[in-house]
Chains A and B, each alone.
Chain A
Amino acid sequence: GAVVSQHPSWVICKSGTSVKIECRSLDFQATTMFWYRQFPKQSLMLMATSNEGSKATYEQGVEKDKFLINHASLTLSTLTVTSAHPEDSSFYICSATLAGGTFYEQYFGPGTRLTVT
Chain B
Amino acid sequence: QKEVEQDPGPLSVPEGAIVSLNCTYSNSAFQYFMWYRQYSRKGPELLMYTYSSGNKEDGRFTAQVDKSSKYISLFIRDSQPSDSATYLCAMDDSGYQLIWGAGTKLIIKP
Contacts and interface: CB of A to CB of B under 8 A. Distances in A.
Interface in A86-107: 93, 95, 103-107
Nearest to A43: B100
Contact of B97 (A46, A93, A107, A111): A46
Interface residues of A, number: 21
Contacts of B97: 46, 49, 59
B108 interface: no
Q: How large is the interface on B (under 10, 10 to 19, 20 to 34, 35 or more residues)?
A: 20 to 34
Nearest to B91: A104
Contacts of A104: 32, 34, 46, 49, 90, 92, 98
A111 B8 contact: no
Contact of B92 (A4, A49, A103, A108): A103
B102 A42 contact: yes
Interface of B: 2, 4, 8, 32, 34, 41-46, 49, 88, 90, 92, 95-103
